Structure formats: C-alpha cells, structure tokens
Amino acid sequence: MSGLLTLGDDGWVAGEAVNLLRSPNFDARPDGVIPNLIVIHNISLPPGEFGGTAIADFFLNRLDWDAHPFYQEIRGVRVSSHFVILRNGALQQFVSCANRAWHAGVSQHAGRARCNDYSIGIELEGSDTTSFEEAQYATLAALIPVLCAAYPIDALAGHSDIAPDRKTDPGAGFDWLRCKLSCGLTDQYFPYRHFGAILAR
C-alpha cells in the first residue's frame, strides 16, 4: 500500500488507503486489558469467491442473506474483525483496536482463554488453499509494525492456532516467513513457527 499508517489514541488507523467502516459488532475489552496478540484469519464470501462488498456487508450486519445459498448457514451471525485486507491490498478497519472485536470465538493462547479480550484480528481476503497477494503482504508490512509500536504485542498467531479444533485459517497459503521478514519481527513473535507452511507458487 502507498503511504504511511498512523494509529490514533482512539485505536483507529489513519492513512491514504484506509477505509473506516464502523461495525456495531464489538464491545469493551475487560478493564485494564491491553492487546498483546495479533490473530491472522482469512475470509471470503461466498467461500472461495473474491471481490465485491459481501465481507464488509457481513461485518456491518447488512448482508443480503438471500444473495447466495451459503449465506443461509451464517444467517443472523454477528461477527467482526478489527481489520480486513482485500486482495488488492486495500485496508478496511471495522472496530477500534481499543475495543473487543468478535473474531476469535472460543479460543486460547499460551494457556489464556478468550482471545478476543486481548487480541487484534486481521482478516485477509482469501481462502485456506490460495496464495495471498503481494499487495496484501505489503499492507501487513505497513500495519503490523504500527500495531506493535502502539501495543505490547508479543505474538502473532493464526486462527487455527488459537482454535485448532474449529478453525483452519489462514491456511497453507499464508507465508508466515514472508510476514516475519517483511514486518521486521523476530522469531519470538511467532510461537507456533509456521515457517515451513508455505504454499508453492
């Protein structure tokens, strides 16, 4: 992405290519809790199809449930994530980092349950079996260091790491090593060590 990102005291990111879309699906973090975990997800709606506004519509509670048969399976579900990075690298923010987004569900990290309480969720438009785009890694490389500078982030995890019995994302298509190098992070941020799980291009 072009331009620098900044994070305000209110937990909202500002930048040339940032689109703020305020989801109603959030609540307050527990008193005194500051995020120290970033969770990487993937999402596509309908599954395996990219483009369009369905992801944003889902997080904003305005998805047309009758627009695709799959939507009946998620009808009425209310979820959100702090950020979505589209295939072209565009960054959308739905929930302030100061608040709790509803992205992790039943989960635990390092023996600590309820990851929503203390994590920031980043959704990449994609699927478990597709490679992510150059532009998406570029946006991650712009966003993650800003988050790490603002909060005491000490780990990055996949949704599959914190909810292994339920979730498989971000999947084999996500290049963890590339994420580590492009964000300038050390191995200590990656307790799950996915550096070999890279989809052949």
**pTM for the structure as a whole:** 0.96
Active-site residue identified among 16, 49, 73, 123: 123
The full set of domains in the chain, from first to last, is 6-189 (3.40.80.10)
pLDDT digits (tens, 9 = 90+) for 163-192: 999 999 999 999 999 999 999 999 999 999
> Vertex 45, ends 42 and 50: CA angle to 5°?
80
What integer is the mean pLDDT of 35-63?
98
Q: Confidence band (pLDDT; 50, 70, 90) for 33?
A: very high
| 80-85 mean pLDDT | 98
> For residue 191, what are the contacts with CB-CB under 8 A and spacing of at least 6?
110, 155, 157
Tokens of 139: 């946006």
Closest by CA to 182, choosing from 131, 142, 133, 150, is 142
Distance between CA atoms of residues 94 and 140, nearest Å: 16
pLDDT in tens, 63-82: 999 999 999 999 999 999 99
16 noted as active-site residue: no
Q: Nearest CA to 22 among 68, 62, 72, 75?
A: 62
pLDDT at 10 over 50: yes
